[in-house]
Amino acid sequence: MAKSLARIQKEIAALQRQAEALKKQEAKDVIERIREAITFYGLTAADLGLSAATRQTRVAAGAKKKAKTAGKVKFRDDAGHSWSGHGRRPQWFLDAIASGKTPQDLAA
């Protein structure tokens, strides 16, 4: 006899509950092993990169990264649109070419 959709959905829900319970138990086991290792090796939050000072250092290091700058403008129209000439051609550029302008006409 074929199973009904409702029956299959109940089985899926039961399996999902079982999976969640297993995941929680495994997480408890992992946490216990981590705690044992921390105690055995005498590790600190700073050793693990969890101290406030370590986090501030990582944030400061990230802040030192240069922001990506826009390329030099190679094309410009009368409406103030600009394009570096890299990447996909913007619609304003395509429209200007379609209207009879040349790339040299739009050169900045």
pLDDT, tens digit (0-9, with 9 covering 90-100), for 74-100:
999 988 899 998 889 999 999 999 999
pTM of the model: 0.40
3-state secondary structure 18-65: HHHHHHHHHHHHHHHHHHHHHHHHCCCCCCCCCCHHHHHHHHHHHHCC
Domain locations along the chain: 5-63, 75-106
Amino acid at position 69, single letter = T
Average per-residue pLDDT for the chain: 87
pLDDT, tens digit (0-9, with 9 covering 90-100), for 27-63:
999 999 999 999 999 998 888 888 776 666 666 666 6
Location of structure tokens 């986090």: 55
